[in-house]
Structure 1
Amino acid sequence: MRHAFNRLHRVQIVLLFILLVITGTLKAQFFTRNTTAGAIVTDSLRSVGISWVDINNDGYQDAYIAGEGNQFYRNLGNGSFERVVTGPHVTTTAVSNIGVWADYDNDGFSDLFVSNYAIVNAQGNPVTLLPNYLYKNNGEPDFSMSLIDNVGDSAISISASWVDIDLDGNLDMLMLRTNNFRDRFFRNEGNGQFIENEDLVFLKNRSFGASESWIDIDNDSDVDLYIVNRGGTNELYKSLAMETGDLFRFQAIENTPLTAEGLVFDIGASWADYDNDGDFDMFLAISGAFGSGAPDRLFRNDGDWQFTQITDQPPVTTGYNSAFGSWADYDNDGDLDLFVGEVNTGQSPGHLYRNEGDGNFLAMLAGDVGEIVGEYPGPQGGNWVDYDNDGDMDLFVLHIGQPTSQTGVPQPNFLIQNNQGNQQNWLAVNCQGTFSNRSAIGAVLRAKAMINGSAVWQTRVISGLGQSGLNSQPPLSAHFGLGNATIVDTLVIHWPSGFRQTFTNVPINSRFDATEVLPQGFIRANFITDTTTAINSDSLTVQFTDLSVTTPGLPVTNYEWDFDNDGIVDAVDANPRFTFSAADTYSVRLRASNAFYSTEIIRKDLIKITGLVPLIEINTQTLNLGFIDVNTAVVDTMFYIYNRGGLGDSVTVAIDLQNVGVDSALAVSPTTAWINPGDSLAVTFSLFPNMLAPNGPFYTPLIKIESAKNYGDRSWERTVRFRIIGALSIDPVSPLAEKYDLEQNYPNPFNPSTNITFQIADQQNITLQIFDLNGRLVRTLVNESRMPGKY
């Protein structure tokens, strides 16, 4: 009996030990995959984009998943979702890339814009192109959606985003499309109508835009733009609204780390203030060949448009084939952490990097954080959301198929639930604009709290797109982790209208609703113009439109316009029209007053009138000559240089051989010329095919054009592209020379030059060529009929 008791005792101890281990393991699961939240985690789909919205204003985030057919899941508020199967936004046969939500008509209900890829065949290839769709939320009682408009022509659209570019309180729309179709921008007129603007500088590039981010990079209260291009150079544009008053003027920012030549496949940019210094830093997800992707990139914003590339931290020291990156403070300790989704041909791991608060990141392991760093079947995108309103951020990951492709086997999407983040304190903020757009897109929030005995400022932004990389819209709210703080001392909201609103002593562990309210007597002068620049003219007529903001019930009572900033009032109307009659640069001042206060705004160097200038245009981008037989004597191709301006200009034209080794094989004429106003110059490019080696690669020389006085660019390059084919023919009536003498070249070896002498006794067709040691033709010296003699 004693032995049996001892065995039983040992069994009880072992069982107790196993129970403790299991209990400890369960407690350590910071994140677990939720498989019981309803159809949102059980439907097998080929998903492409995810966007979150509170469609019925019940306080819970609902999910819209773009992909095959598009799906909408309503959050029931009990930890589960139900799929909505009626309505035009979920019954389309298209494959869509992203749906983006915002209250475009400011009626209190979020509406939907869908960026469509196409209707595809079984292989995932587009067969029918479609326009994009705008759906209006009809509000109570059932929050149904109505198709309002087909936006844009039929094309392959990649991305879309809401932004109030002109700060009028109405949200505008940017659409990115493949490089076969131009990008498009539509201005919201505020009356339900959208008007296309084709003149914005960021619409001129024809690259393959993968994603865009509207973000106030320099903290000057207007939104700048960053575009990620697949396999090309990314683009950065600074808004000049505050500097010039031209709300549609942007300047391309070049020669920065953010605009370096793209790697194999740049996917998406995710912006966040990870170092809590008050400006927005950027993580760039890089996708490459499976298993050999280049490292992702992390850029720290140092202010004044200076960025430092961080290269020694775990998120960017190992090359993955990344699908997306998304920021959130998952442990609520007061600094933003980063999740990166990786794509492989099979199962793909997730990567979670904890921000240590000192500029360093720590790669988390499954034993530390649980299933969030587990295996995912074909991640396509994802982002963070507090779907259960418990104060910590959960993660949602999309899957396109297994293997990872549009034709892969559909997979369920993953909801990764945060079980421990709310052990520290937090604050969630919902913003509602009144003078700004109702969705508060573009609002920047800064919160100050005492965390671990130190005052910490954190910065967030309400974004229509741009915090989670590719095809992902985060909730239209802000989440702050507060650690052990007991109160938020100060919450400052920089509204898109330009008004700054401050709240103090905001309670922790709460969902705080902030509504934009202007103080009594508030007034801010502002205006726009219909034009700002006259090129090749001595005058310009400008329509000025007042956009001053004032407290309701206290209208602007007095306007003073000074159109040349000389201190003399030129107009007192709200919306004057004025003609500038001399070539110059003008600064414009507006002073506006209500019953309480006066305020003024000066737009420096707003109006520019150039006078008469040359305007040089070239009528081709590339001279594509195709395949040319080597026996062709000469190929002449003509292009034109036009002067569309009012002054004459001199131009020079030259050839850069590039991979053409024989300078006499190419010619251009004329090489210099004067072009009168309104005139053109015909330039002939001549190619002598029989001087070049046939059946090699394409030749790509450059034609370089320089202007002396053009307004704008003064140098251009045009590529010529051709390939020489065939075999050099031999004249059958000219027999081979029976007697010839090819003498030793001198001096020998060739350096830096040499002479070659030969003699023939009879008239013959002579070909004299030089080959390298590998048998490749270097140059044809002679290829013509010669008389008897020594040469």
Structure 2
Amino acid sequence: MSYKWPLGMDIKMKSYPVLCIFLPLMFFSCGDGSRPEQTASKAETEWELVPFKQLDQWVEGKELRRNVMISDSKKSSGARFYRKNGPSIGVNFRNRLNNENIKNYLFSGAGLSVGDYDNNGLPDLFMVSQDGPNKLFRQKSPWQFEDVTEEAGIVDTESWGSGAAFADINDDGQLDLYVCNKGNPDEIYMNQGKGTFSGGFVGGSKDPYRAPTMVAFADYDRDGDLDFYRTSTRLISIKEMFKGKVLTKKDNSGIVRAHPSQADQFEMIDGLPRELGTHDRLFRNDGVGKGGMPKLVDVTRDSGINIAREHGLSAVWWDYNDDGWPDLYVSNDFHTPDHLYRNNGDSTFEEVTKDALAYTSWYSMGSDFADINNDGRFDYLSSDMSATTHFKQKTMMGAMTDTAWFLDNLEPRQYMRNVMHVNTGTGKFIDVAFHAGIDSTDWTWAAIFGDLDNDGLEDIFFTNGIERNVQDADQSIRMRQAGANGATVEELRKIFLDSPRLKEKNLAFRNRGNFKFEKPGDDWGLNEETVSHGAVLSDLDRDGDLDVVVNNMNDPVGIYMNLGNNSQKGASSHSHRSMLVYLKGIESNYFGLGARLTLKMPNGQLMNRIMTSSRGYMSGAEPVIHFGWPSSWGDPEELIINWPSGHLQKVQNIVPDWHYRITESGTGTTGSPDEASNPKARLFSQIDEALGINFIHSENFYNDFTSQPLLPNRLSRFGPALAIGDVDSDGDKDVFIGAARDRQSALFIQNKKGQFGRTPCPALKADQIYEDVDALWFDSDNDGDQDLYVVSGGASQAAGHEHYQDRLYLNDGSGQLSRAPKSILPDLNLSGSRVAAHDFDNDGDLDLFVGSRFVPGNYPTGPESVLLINEAGRFSKIQCSASSSGMVTDVKWSDIDGDKRADLILATEWGPVRVYQNKEDGFHEITESLGLDDFTGWWNCVVAGDVDQDGDNDIIAGNFGTNTKYSVSKEKPATIFAADFGGNGTLQLVEAQYKEGKLLPVRGRSCSTTAMPHLVDRVPTYSSFASKTIREIYTPQAIKESKRLEVNTLSTMLFRNDGKGKFIAEPLPLLSQMAPVMDIVLTDVNRDGRKDIALAQNFNAAQRETGRMNAGLGVILIAKDNGQLDEIWPDDSGFFSRADPRRLIATDLDGDGTLELLLGQNGGDLQIFRSKHNLGFDKNP
């Protein structure tokens, strides 16, 4: 059963004539539950109440009126949020940290919690302090608070406070309070009603090393009461603990480890001591014990939770896999990894981080979840400390050698930036932070989702700043030098205290849809510059929009009233609607924590929420759900509630702009939203092991950066080669998989049962010295069988080395291969990329074009690609304009101009997709006339075909996508300069980007000066490097004389052929842009006669500053009648893989009439996906 009452309704007060203020919540019995109802306490002023309406008596609510309580008339700024003066509304508080207590581990600040502890209908604030007493502020009427700390029974324990949360721990309908303390036991306050608490301690005696940071409540075992997880870091550094004497010891194998007496405090990694944190804890609630205190049982070890000593800063409960059981994400600081724990439903958890996430934040701080695209799946956000300006980025970036071990070895990888993991429904997430524009938000602590503008999409609020800039690279060097010169502890402390206070703007981001967020800046008024930590979003005045409260360090608390549509820049008062939902559990916990709410709208939008108590950073949320939406969406059709008990409840006839108190129905359909018992029919299913093709591509180790330290990406990792052909002429298809240098390639022969077996091939075994990057089965000598051409590539040898020679293996007709004599192929000692065959001279045999990617040691010098003419089985190089096309990454033949001759299409790196028209007199480049020269990219692959069925061939080209650290446009292209900048005969590289109106270096000072030592005198400090442009660092003359290449688009593109000699560029749909596309196939996926598109995504070979670009899972695009492409999400397509792919082939591999997709990945196994459709084709490649 439910009750509703209007938001922001007119209420008469004795002390005012008539003001628009907001109704206190007074809850009466509205169900058959067995729990006693809690009576609301009256405010100091008397209220004239409008009666609640029962579900079957709902009537039109009063129109929502927004806040007018701005007594000082400062509304003129027009901002959406107005900063309230704390003391004037009764909230006189600042989180103080005195200089004598300044330590790294106290810079993490403190949080707060919001909740209606006295049940008067208005949320109250509990503020946590570090060097002062915590404070409880009761909201007695809208925007009027009073300090009730002492009278409520909150004790000053003289602890360094950190996190806090209101939660109904004993399930009596009243919010209790949990407070985390550093060094001292945590405090737990049980609500006694009438506005008072009785307190106790959690965690035993004092411990000077432990530092709990955040508590997150959830009914993880779904037994009707609230359990909790508590994160913890450390309070005292190992140098303080051991007075600078960090002890190590060599073990029997000679490895240096922490001495046994200190082994629980640090570990040695790459020769350096790395501090360990302290243990997190999971507590199970076993009901009420003596004195009304909960019986809490530490079940951490038995539950499967990691018991390592880590640096936990935040934790969030959420149901990521939609099975009805609360899962847990833990954000850890420093080198300790984050954890995603899947709830098994039997009081145990399984860590699934490596399988679910491509990577995580490095210094993970705050965290939150939301359904950012209203698709019914909950997405996840964690914050880090990545700077928003070039200067701060480069001064915070120290020597990469200090962290090389970390960046190169952890799984999953950790990167110093925010990540926003979008839930694909497959158990795997894709990070879209770069595309969203929220990857870097400065030194960020809290990250909180909430619909701040009531537009139906969840926005983000970040808090920023730190009391001392401990990441300043120059300051770190000064500290290190002073220590090496014998500075005393007091002298080092003075240097430390002299570090500047890093005040930074808090940032809000408006959700614009399609994974895009934008800064509203001054329009919202939330960008105050200070040092902020914990924050909450709550409708403090109960007017239907979210207000913001921030706990600042050494500054007054920030309280921001949401003016909503009353702001001068807002829309009309009718443009948006909202509602607040309160739950009362019967079989579930009282406030319904863990319940999933879905608001179904007439336009098909589904807004989804989960009731939670903790989110962001060190802070507690109130158990109230807020929904907002544009009026144009209409009135909600129904509210669907999945209760923790398993009950499913639906509420219809919803009137906007009302509060709803909904009591759990005992008669609803029970069950779980889990689809595991009824798996959906996907387009593809993975069948790797079923066919017997067991091959794992293994890379040999080679350091690409030895000869050219500033390469953007590794150039030695473009295998495996993959080719399909009938080797033994028995009518079925066999598979060749090429290997890395010093590894053996594999030939798999298919038997009559559709199974494959690896067949020994002495010729291939003898050629392990080559790096196979591409392969092609074709009849080179017109003898009726399939021969094998293998392209040699890589970067491990000097340019022109004989190990770059391509190879041709001749088939004897029975499947036995032998290396063709040297006279068959010319010398092709080029680092190749791709090969494609076509009889371009119409003489009845197949000729070849072999693309070349780069000149080893001389990137980005354009290499020579070759056109090989077949003359009776012998191949000769002929002159061709396409030979000097730059760095060629892919080759295709296709009739582009409709003259029945196949033209040559080349994908290039740092260039356009090039087209060479095939004419009687040779090949003529027509790239410019087709309009393709306007789009320079890092094109990885290309394919041509009639996508829109208009009778001509279109071009699809795979690029790096819009979800990388690079942001480019025609006006601001990514740029690379190549020259002998140091005058030592070595070709050096400088990457540059346009930022802040200047052309600035991409790489940092450490990498740049290591590669070019002559720069040290020009930029002696990190700040001097960070403040200079490219021309100031390298001199205008050096830049002018260098080779310069530019890229102005990174979007993966469909170039539509207009049939009139021009191509129209059209970026492929959203998921296609989330990671580099390494290969593409055109094939009819759903048997409707149209050519669909499959994309292989991800690239893990970037230099370590960039990190892996592996947010993608692969994409299927379905062609429609109107020529448009429908994007199929991985959960529906079944084609998903976290692979690092290089080749994708579509074929009916085993001859059963169904399509298979073969995915060859670098450093991994061959993956095979089978379609559910019987296509009935037999002519696939």
1:167 and 2:222 correspond: yes
Distance of aligned partners of 1:436 and 1:261 in 2 relative to their CA distance in 1, 3 Å threshold: closer
Give the residue type in structure 1 aligned to 2:196. S
1:476 and 2:623 correspond: yes
Pick the aligned partner of 2:445 from 295, 306, 323.
323
Is the Cα contact below 8 Å between 1:71 and 1:90 reproduced in 2?
no
- Structure 2 residue ranges without an equivalent (≥5): 1-72, 97-108, 234-275, 290-294, 397-415, 467-500, 567-572, 678-1181
TM-superposed CA distance for 1:26, in Å, is 1.5
TM-superposed CA distance for 1:151, in Å, is 3.6
Is the Cα contact below 8 Å between 1:112 and 1:135 reproduced in 2?
yes
Show CA shifts across 1:263-286 (max 9, x none): 2x2112111111101111112110
TM-superposed CA distance for 1:225, in Å, is 0.9
Pick the aligned partner of 1:279 from 377, 393, 396.
377
Tell me the distance in 2 between the aligned counterparts of 1:25 and 1:196.
51
TM-superposed CA distance for 1:36, in Å, is 5.6
Tell me the distance in 2 between the aligned counterparts of 1:24 and 1:180.
47
1:383 and 2:447 correspond: no
Give the match's secondary structure for 2:185: strand
Tell me the distance in 1 between the aligned counterparts of 2:308 and 2:666.
40
Give the match's secondary structure for 1:518: coil
1:233 and 2:337 correspond: yes
Alignment of 1:676-715 (within 5 A): none
Give the residue type in structure 1 aligned to 2:307. K
1:250 and 2:372 correspond: no
Alignment of 1:689-768 (within 5 A): none
Is the Cα contact below 8 Å between 2:365 and 2:382 reproduced in 1?
yes
Is the Cα contact below 8 Å between 1:431 and 1:515 reproduced in 2?
yes
TM-superposed CA distance for 1:374, in Å, is 3.2
TM-superposed CA distance for 1:50, in Å, is 1.2
Tell me the distance in 2 between the aligned counterparts of 1:477 and 1:340.
21
Aligned to 1:749: none
1:45 and 2:95 correspond: yes
Give the residue type in structure 2 aligned to 1:463. T
Distance of aligned partners of 1:509 and 1:25 in 2 relative to their CA distance in 1, 3 Å threshold: closer
Is the Cα contact below 8 Å between 2:358 and 2:430 reproduced in 1?
no
1:372 and 2:526 correspond: yes
TM-superposed CA distance for 1:314, in Å, is 5.1
1:106 and 2:106 correspond: no
1:438 and 2:590 correspond: yes
TM-superposed CA distance for 1:365, in Å, is 2.2
Tell me the distance in 2 between the aligned counterparts of 1:93 and 1:300.
42
Give the residue type in structure 2 aligned to 1:321. W
Which range is displaced more, 232-241 or 344-353?
344-353
Aligned to 1:93: 158
Aligned to 1:412: 556
Distance of aligned partners of 1:323 and 1:194 in 2 relative to their CA distance in 1, 3 Å threshold: closer
Give the residue type in structure 2 aligned to 1:110. L
Q: What percent identity do the matched residue pairs reach?
A: 26
TM-superposed CA distance for 1:301, in Å, is 0.9
TM-superposed CA distance for 1:206, in Å, is 2.3
Is the Cα contact below 8 Å between 2:648 and 2:670 reproduced in 1?
no
Is the Cα contact below 8 Å between 1:296 and 1:320 reproduced in 2?
no
Q: Give the structure-1-normalised TM-score.
A: 0.56
Tell me the distance in 2 between the aligned counterparts of 1:220 and 1:519.
21
1:291 and 2:395 correspond: no
Distance of aligned partners of 1:25 and 1:180 in 2 relative to their CA distance in 1, 3 Å threshold: closer
Aligned to 2:515: 359
Tell me the distance in 2 between the aligned counterparts of 1:325 and 1:80.
27
Aligned to 2:478: none
Give the match's secondary structure for 1:156: strand
Aligned to 2:197: 145
Give the match's secondary structure for 1:497: coil
Give the match's secondary structure for 2:605: strand
Is the Cα contact below 8 Å between 2:165 and 2:613 reproduced in 1?
yes
1:209 and 2:274 correspond: no
Distance of aligned partners of 1:40 and 1:152 in 2 relative to their CA distance in 1, 3 Å threshold: farther
Is the Cα contact below 8 Å between 1:38 and 1:81 reproduced in 2?
no
Is the Cα contact below 8 Å between 2:582 and 2:591 reproduced in 1?
no
Alignment of 1:54-203 (within 5 A): 54-68=116-130, 69-86=133-150, 87-117=152-182, 129-139=183-193, 142-154=194-206, 155-178=210-233, 179-192=276-289, 193-197=295-299, 198-203=301-306
Aligned to 1:29: 79
Tell me the distance in 1 between the aligned counterparts of 2:360 and 2:660.
43
Ranges of 4+ aligned residues in structure 1 off by more than 6 Å: 522-525
Alignment of 1:340-739 (within 5 A): 340-343=462-465, 345-366=501-522, 368-369=523-524, 371-375=525-529, 377-401=530-554, 411-421=555-565, 423=573, 424-450=576-602, 454-466=603-615, 469-484=616-631, 485-519=633-667
TM-superposed CA distance for 1:29, in Å, is 2.1
Show CA shifts across 1:586-612 (max 9, x none): xxxxxxxxxxxxxxx99xxxxxxxxxx
Distance of aligned partners of 1:488 and 1:204 in 2 relative to their CA distance in 1, 3 Å threshold: same
Determine which structure has the larger helix proportion and give its number.
2
Tell me the distance in 1 between the aligned counterparts of 2:188 and 2:441.
39
Determine which structure has the larger strand proportion and give its number.
1
Show CA shifts across 1:419-445 (max 9, x none): 125732101101111101112111111
Distance of aligned partners of 1:196 and 1:312 in 2 relative to their CA distance in 1, 3 Å threshold: closer
Tell me the distance in 2 between the aligned counterparts of 1:81 and 1:288.
36
Distance of aligned partners of 1:337 and 1:200 in 2 relative to their CA distance in 1, 3 Å threshold: same
Give the match's secondary structure for 1:26: helix
Tell me the distance in 2 between the aligned counterparts of 1:319 and 1:352.
10
Distance of aligned partners of 1:460 and 1:238 in 2 relative to their CA distance in 1, 3 Å threshold: same
Show CA shifts across 1:451-490 (max 9, x none): xxx2211001111213xx2112122110001210452211
Give the residue type in structure 1 aligned to 2:368. S
- Structure 1 residue ranges without an equivalent (≥5): 1-22, 118-128, 402-410, 526-600, 603-791
Aligned to 2:365: 267
Distance of aligned partners of 1:523 and 1:397 in 2 relative to their CA distance in 1, 3 Å threshold: closer
Tell me the distance in 2 between the aligned counterparts of 1:313 and 1:48.
31
Distance of aligned partners of 1:259 and 1:84 in 2 relative to their CA distance in 1, 3 Å threshold: farther
Show CA shifts across 1:469-525 (max 9, x none): 2112122110001210452211011111111111011111011101112118x7779
TM-superposed CA distance for 1:152, in Å, is 4.1
TM-superposed CA distance for 1:70, in Å, is 1.1
TM-superposed CA distance for 1:51, in Å, is 0.8
Is the Cα contact below 8 Å between 2:94 and 2:556 reproduced in 1?
yes
Give the match's secondary structure for 1:441: coil
Is the Cα contact below 8 Å between 2:188 and 2:200 reproduced in 1?
yes
Tell me the distance in 2 between the aligned counterparts of 1:359 and 1:261.
18
Aligned to 2:977: none
Give the match's secondary structure for 1:291: helix
Tell me the distance in 2 between the aligned counterparts of 1:524 and 1:159.
32
TM-superposed CA distance for 1:88, in Å, is 4.1
Is the Cα contact below 8 Å between 2:385 and 2:441 reproduced in 1?
no
Instruction: Count matched residues.
Output: 469
Tell me the distance in 2 between the aligned counterparts of 1:433 and 1:24.
42
Give the residue type in structure 1 aligned to 2:606. W
TM-superposed CA distance for 1:196, in Å, is 2.5
Give the match's secondary structure for 2:541: coil
Aligned to 1:645: none
Show CA shifts across 1:325-372 (max 9, x none): 111111111111112222152432122211113332122121x22x21
Show CA shifts across 1:70-123 (max 9, x none): 111101223121111314424221121112111111111111111111xxxxxx
Show CA shifts across 1:609-638 (max 9, x none): xxxxxxxxxxxxxxxxxxxxxxxxxxxxxx
Aligned-residue Cα RMSD (Å) equals 2.7
Give the residue type in structure 2 aligned to 1:272. A
Tell me the distance in 2 between the aligned counterparts of 1:222 and 1:52.
25
Tell me the distance in 1 between the aligned counterparts of 2:434 and 2:178.
40
Give the match's secondary structure for 1:76: strand
